Amino acid sequence: MKADIIIIGAGPGGYECAVKAAKEGLQVIVIEEKHVGGTCLNEGCIPTKCFCRNAEVLENVRDAARYGLSAGDVALDLQQVVRRKDEVVSKLAAGIHTLLKAPGITLVEGKARFVDAHTVAVGGEEYRADNVVIATGSVTRMLPIPGTDNPKVVTSTGMLSLEQVPRRLCVIGGGVIGLEFASIFRTFGSEVTVVEFCKEVLPNFDKDVAKRLRLALKKRGIAFKTGAAVTSIEEGPDGSAVVHFDEKGKSGDTEADLVLMAVGRGANVSSLNLADIGVAFTPRGITVDDNMCTNVPGVYAVGDVNGRVQLAHAATYQGYRALNHMQGRADNICFDIIPAAVFTQPEVASAGLTEEQCTERDITYKVYKSFYRANGKALAMDADDGFVKLLADAEGHLLGAHILGAHAADLIHEAALLMKLGGTVGQMAEAIHAHPTLSELLPAAIGEN
């Protein structure tokens, strides 16, 4: 079967590219081995956000008396939490299946194998196209230490189908995935300990925000072991798991009923015979240029598999860039400004440069800050913990934005858009914002400095 494009993988990088290409009149073959929607829909972004919402509602109900409401005793039904998550995932998966039934798109279910650079086999069938987009995503990483095969050790996928809340949860890894689950299950009732190798959690985020988030989570009862290297996991005397680590030169351990391995994800390159067709790759991912081209003409790689940015929305726009390159079109997509969010309580969001990156690049910058405790809407919401931090150059052009607090993931996009357009903090300050809203925190940061 011949087409214009073959796309291997139906996650955000794959199916969004397919839909856009079909709308432009191209014939597209999409090959998916497991589930449409990829990790994001089935095991990542969407399921965890469902759990985050359950945790948020639970917190609100527990605090009902503060708002003059009598809610009585509150009990969590984890099986219903999982059922609701499954319903949301099923509904979105059905929507993607509908999109992939559009004219011009052929969905093939099965494992892809390259015959040559432009021919892909699935089972006994072969498919050929001038352009091939590899969008196979990523897989969970495991530390190379003894004890990871302990049945008490699970990945983020396992956390999403638990039948009961663990009394004690140890999270190995203080990145986005680890902290989201730590926040969720602390609200669900677990005693949570986070063990992080780096000196601070969220090592890729602005240090001010990371530190303040850690302190906020610590205030909620989550224990942290930072600068701690996990050395082994062994079975405890009561059937629990004991996590051993070296913390600042001293040995330590923590006992848990469940251990979440959340030390990041690696590019899913082993599922394809890339070496057979000469596509260059490293353990980090498939090597691509800024147009998502590999070293083999007509072969592209987008999303987690190229190791550039492991975010679903980044994968989508990388797919658009690859499609534009195939069509000989230029675009204005800016991959230097990709918003990122952490759905803890409180939330974190970031876009652009961190203060540390500005210092490393010898960029002269000014810091602007405002605080949730001075915002009327935040006080009305009883969400006064947090701040906005903006970085601007000597001419006032916005370089970076970092937010800790309620709805940070929504607020960040105003700053991201301003950065993309080359705007200044002065322009932000002069834009009228509705009152009372959390969005006022952005111009307030400029007015208070």
- Residue 124, both tokens: 């006994």
3-state helix, strand, coil in the chain (%, to 5): 35, 30, 35
**Omega of the bond prior to 436 within 30 degrees of 0, cis?**
yes
Residues 6 or more apart from 245 whose CB is under 8 A from it? Answer: 195, 225, 228, 229, 230, 231, 251, 252, 253, 254
pLDDT over 70 at 318, yes or no: yes
This prediction has a pTM of: 0.95
Give me the catalytic one of 402, 407, 433, 435. Answer: 435
| pLDDT one-digit tens code per residue, 436-449 | 999 999 999 998 65
Position 82 scores a pLDDT of: 96
Nearest partner of 372 among 339, 347, 344, 340, judged by Cα? 347
- Give the pLDDT band of residue 230 (cuts 50, 70, 90): very high
Position 448 scores a pLDDT of: 60
Three-state SS at 5: strand
Separation between Cα atoms, residue 427 and residue 110, nearest integer Å:
51
Q: Mean per-residue pLDDT for 165-171?
A: 97
| pLDDT one-digit tens code per residue, 370-429 | 999 999 999 999 999 999 999 999 999 999 999 999 999 999 999 999 999 999 999 999
- Mean of the per-residue pLDDT values for the chain? 95
313 an active-site residue? no
| pLDDT one-digit tens code per residue, 39-93 | 999 999 999 999 999 999 999 999 998 999 987 788 999 999 999 999 999 999 9
- Residue 209, both tokens: 């925000």
**Omega of the bond prior to 103 within 30 degrees of 0, cis?**
no
In the chain, % of residues over pLDDT 70: 100
Position 449 scores a pLDDT of: 58
